[in-house]
Amino acid sequence: MNIEVFLRVLKRHIGWFILLPALTAGMAFYTTQDEIKVYRSQASLYTGLSSGYSITSDLRASYGDQSASAFDNMLSTLNAKETMLRAGSYLLADHLQLTEPDTLVLGRAGFDALQTAVPTDWRFMLPINGNVVVLRRAIDSLTKVPTDNPIKRLLLKSESPYSVAVITDKLKAIARKNTNDVMLLEYEANDPAVAQRTLNHAIAVLNERYSTLKTSETNSVVSYYEGQLQRAKQSLDKAEGNLQAFSVQHRVLDYDEEARNVAASREALLNEYNEEQMRRNAAKASMDALKSRMGQQVTIKKVNNDLSEKQRRLAQAEGQLANARAYNQPKGEISRLQVKVKQAEEELRGSVQRYETATTTDESVPQQTVSTDLLAKTLEYEESSARLELYQKRIAELETKTNEFSPMGSQLRSLKRDLSIAEKEYFDLLQHVDQSRTKRQDVRGGKLEPLDAPDYPLLPQPSKRLQLIIIGFGVGLFLALLLVALRFWLDKTIKTPEQAEIQIGLPMTAIFPTVKKPLVYSRVTRTARTMFEQLFNAINIEVAQTTGKPYPPVVTIFSVRARQGKTWVAEGLNRLYTDADQRVAYCYPRQTPKEYRVYKNGVTYFPYTVRPDFMNVTSLEYLIDHDHEFDSSQFDRVVLELPSLINNQIPVYLMKESAVSLLVVDATTAWARAEKQLLSLYARVTNQPMLAVLNRVGGDQLQIPARADAKQEPVYRDHSLQTQRE
């Protein structure tokens, strides 16, 4: 729907747009004539959420809780049912203690209403003349009993100023722009004192409940950390006890120091043991060397003895040789003795050489020196061996102690690790306990301080009667628009040419308005006349372009449903053909048996009967009764009107003679699946051009031609045979 069509629709329903807004505005005017005056009390509270200082401020990077959730929690606490109930009960307690109206507490109207709501017998049951705290407790008890009572009705079920629902609806709380430090509160009531006192009680209850809720939150945290701290202290005591028992059991004062001492002693002892072993080995080597030298002295002695023996033998042999010569022994004896002397000399010479060799070596030392040195080295060796035995015993003792200290080290480290973990956990929890206690004290000491106390409103709020009337007028206007839109959307008819082209799938050649008085010249008849001229031209163009069809050309007018205006369109075309001096044969379905061939206004009317074999009709001569003497050669145009396709057969063979088909659709009918399917079947039957005509379109969908663009005459010069619906 374009803007032009929309404006036309609004113009057609202009009555709705006048009646409904006037009706709703009048209702608003009538209902607000006894409007009750409303008084508004305002206050502001300093929350300190963004920039307030507290005990925990120094522990934070910035002061205050700047999160929006903190302010939302405060608003949730204020708007809670329990908060509203307490504020209402406090206000009711103040008013019940009144014996007469007081403009600073409760006006005359409210006082009379309260006297009626709370009977005298119930007043006697309540401690009205006592302490207000006791009265508040009594009221709170009455609200919680299962049975009904006037107090419970006032607070929970009525529309009085004490009702939870009323206070919740009228109490407004918002944050000052760009900060959560200040909360703005306002409350409206029909009594200025009620507005002020309700706001006072709401602030007091908010302070009490918010502090209690925050403290309860911190109490649970403090209790949790204190319990954890107690368990951590038990773990720490257990770890210290295990470490102490270990030290007592193993007699360890300082394991690390003793372990270092044992390691250092073992290392020093090993070094001394190695040095002592080297000294013993050196003494052993010296002993072996000295013993070797002692063996060489024996050899010299033997060589010396052998030399003496050889000298004795040489002296003996020389004495025997001298005696033999002296005693003139035989030469043979002398020769033998000479040989013996010579042999003794040779042996002596060899002994001399051996003696010289033994006595001239570097290792040759005096025997007494060698013996003395051997004795010293032997003593040194024995002493070193004794010390090594002592070292080995001490090393064994240290090895035993080292073996004892090795598992003790891992046990001690485990015990110390357990002690360290227990200490760390204990001190961390101790810090958390301190922080939670500080937070609890911070919350307990925090209070919402009023910057502006609730004021006593002296003047009522400006009346909203004019606004309500304007709103009522707007509501009526909206309802009118809604009704028009619903009527437009729920209407399944074609209505507009645009919708017709979309649903039918053919462009609209002609769009006829609803013509109620065809013989009266008007804007509607002028538009219809123009549409007939356009349709007439379109048909002539299609006929002129058609080839291979018999003469005269047949113009077929059909519709899917009945009463679409086929006959009305045919009558208009017939008049245009007769104005153009064309002989026209108009063939149409017979409605009654009394209809026969008629010639009227230059048009010959041929009624035909829709027979059971209508689909097999092959020509107009076969379709028209023989007594009508139909001869197509006597006419220039044949206008054939078919019965509606929805309940009749399609003359398949007859359509082959048609030059052009004209589909007539009433804009007030629906176009659904059945219509689309029948039109699709008709299009498959014939290959002829098909024009579409939209009949009885609303005046708001048409463009009315100017007087200069249309002929100055009505659609018909006399009454047509059929109405526009036929």
Give the model's pLDDT for residue 380. 78
Domains of the chain: 1-28+465-490 (no CATH), 29-222 (no CATH), 256-422 (1.10.287), 493-709 (3.40.50.300)
Q: According to the per-residue pLDDT averaged within each range, which of 343-347, 365-369, 673-677 is highest?
A: 673-677
* Strands of the sheet with 658-666, listed across from one edge: 508-513, 690-697, 658-666, 554-558, 637-641, 584-589, 603-608, 598-600
Question: Cα(12)–Cα(175) distance, rounded to whole angstroms?
Answer: 51
Q: How many residues does the chain have?
A: 726
Q: Give whichever of 425-429, 447-451, 611-615, 658-662 has the largest mean pLDDT.
A: 658-662
Q: Of the given ranges (400-404, 458-462, 465-469), which has the lowest mean pLDDT?
A: 400-404
CA atoms within 13 Å, Cβ hemisphere of 691: 25
Question: How far apart (Å, rounded) are the C-alpha atoms in residues 336 and 327?
Answer: 15
Gap between the Cα atoms of 583 and 580, Å rounded: 9
Q: Which residues share a beta bridge with 187?
A: 41, 171
* Residue with the larger pLDDT of the pair 197 and 496: 197
For the chain, what percent of residues have pLDDT higher than 90?
Answer: 17
Tell me: the pLDDT tens digits for 211-269? 777 776 677 777 787 788 888 888 888 888 887 777 776 665 555 666 666 677 778 87
Question: Which residue type sits at 15?
Answer: G
Listed range (22-31, 377-386, 533-542) with the worst mean pLDDT? 377-386
The lowest-confidence range among 4-18, 307-321, 580-594, 690-704 is 4-18
When pLDDT is cut at 50, 70 and 90, the band that residue 606 belongs to is very high
Q: Give me the mean pLDDT over the 440-456 stretch.
A: 71
On the question of pLDDT at 1 being above 70, the answer is no
Give the per-residue pLDDT at 35. 67
Report the amino acid identity of residue 687. Answer: N
Decide: helix, strand or coil at residue 584. strand
What's the distance, Cα to Cα, between the start and end of the chain in Å?
29
- C-alpha 514/C-alpha 687 separation (Å) is 32
Interval 83-102: pLDDT, tens? 899 999 999 889 888 888 88
More confident residue, 674 or 408: 674
The whole-number pLDDT of residue 693 equals: 94
d(CA 105, CA 123): 18
pLDDT of residue 62: 44
Q: Is the pTM of this model over 0.95?
A: no
Residue matched to tokens 């002892």: 269
C-alpha distances out from residue 117 to 150, 151, 206, 648, Å: 7, 8, 28, 79
Task: Report whether pLDDT(569) > 90.
Answer: yes
